[in-house]
């Protein structure tokens, strides 16, 4: 029997170059080429990140703010972390909202929030049989970046936006994890020479990474690879990018995309 443990909805899949169309024709609907700030909804109540568009994305899928129990912050850039939106979610609830950040993050705590400071590489039980581990990411150190592995009943998925390549300890931690799903940063399109190599991935970088991730058994032939944090100004259209990624066995996320693990 192969039951799923995680129901994941991509609430946003953009890097920081948001389309002006979000203010007009797509203000209350999703579009593959008008992406919102990167975020995920997991099992109806857990959020990864809470950036500029999170309230809008939740309203598009018809989710009430008070159903959110936990927010896991990858880092403190404004497309992932926007304090007034966290305050609004917390304010909609009776019980405190749990907000999980890297242990060293410098962050203000809004009312009705329980801040949970995560030690890197330590596994936390978040309830309902789910655990989370945070690993340091190769991104601006001033925003306390971390990647996550969520696990339930042996099924694991990795979320790695934002970050370029992997830091040494993080790469070693991924050995033999046999992830069902990897969501990888793919800010930059299919060209070489971009200056962001030390903080974001490009398609040529992903082409190099996937075989090595297979070698260390972070992924196997059944793992799904989904690329997100797409910068529309650095990529071709969504449809063209889907075709490019298919050649090396990856999928391209879009706002509203649902995946089960």
Q: Measure the CA–CA gap between 32 and 53, rounded to whole angstroms.
A: 15
**Residue 28 CB neighbours (<10 A):** 9
In the complex, what is the shortest distance from the CB of residue 102 to Zn ion, in angstroms, rounded to a whole number? 13
CB-closest chain residue to Zn ion = 77
In the complex, what is the shortest distance from the CB of residue 74 to Zn ion, in angstroms, rounded to a whole number? 8
By beta-carbon proximity to Zn ion, the closer residue of 147 and 155 is 147
By beta-carbon proximity to Zn ion, the closer residue of 156 and 257 is 257
By beta-carbon proximity to Zn ion, the closer residue of 178 and 194 is 194
In the complex, what is the shortest distance from the CB of residue 199 to Zn ion, in angstroms, rounded to a whole number? 7
In the complex, what is the shortest distance from the CB of residue 261 to Zn ion, in angstroms, rounded to a whole number? 23
Residue 84: C-alpha distances to residues 50, 52, 70, 164, 253 (Å): 10, 9, 16, 28, 26
By beta-carbon proximity to Zn ion, the closer residue of 79 and 180 is 79
Strands 70-72 and 46-48 turn out to be parallel
Residue identified by tokens 């993050």 is: 105
In the complex, what is the shortest distance from the CB of residue 135 to Zn ion, in angstroms, rounded to a whole number? 16
Report yes or no: 205 and 163 within 8 Å, Cβ to Cβ: no
Q: Which residues bind Zn ion (CB under 5 A)?
A: 77, 79, 162
Strands of 97-102's sheet, edge to edge?
Answer: 113-118, 97-102, 70-72, 46-48, 39-42, 7-12, 258-260
By beta-carbon proximity to Zn ion, the closer residue of 109 and 140 is 140
């Amino acid at each position: 029997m192969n039951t799923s443990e995680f129901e994941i909805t991509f609430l946003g899949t953009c890097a920081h170059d948001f389309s002006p169309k979000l203010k007009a024709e797509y203000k209350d609907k999703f579009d593959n080429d008008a992406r919102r700030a990167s975020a995920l909804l997991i099992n109806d109540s857990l959020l990864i990140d809470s950036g500029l568009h999170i309230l809008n994305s939740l309203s598009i899928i018809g989710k009430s703010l008070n159903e959110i129990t936990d927010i896991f912050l990858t880092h403190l850039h404004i497309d992932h972390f926007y304090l007034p939106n966290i305050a609004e979610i917390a304010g909609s609830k009776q019980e405190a909202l749990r907000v999980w950040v890297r242990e060293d993050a410098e962050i203000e705590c809004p009312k009705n929030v329980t801040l949970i400071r995560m030690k890197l590489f330590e596994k936390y039980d978040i309830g309902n049989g789910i655990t989370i581990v945070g690993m340091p990411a190769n991104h601006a150190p001033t925003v306390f970046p971390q990647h996550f592995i969520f696990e339930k009943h042996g099924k694991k998925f990795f979320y790695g936006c934002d970050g370029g390549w992997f830091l040494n300890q993080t790469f070693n931690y991924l050995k033999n994890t046999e992830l069902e799903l990897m969501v990888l940063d793919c800010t930059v399109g299919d060209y070489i020479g971009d200056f962001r190599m030390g903080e974001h991935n490009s398609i040529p970088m992903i082409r190099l990474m996937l075989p090595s991730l297979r070698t260390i058994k972070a992924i196997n032939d059944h793992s799904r690879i989904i690329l997100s944090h797409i910068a529309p100004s650095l990529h071709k259209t969504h449809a063209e990018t889907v075709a490019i990624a298919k050649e090396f066995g990856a999928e391209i996320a879009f706002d509203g995309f649902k995946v089960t693990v």
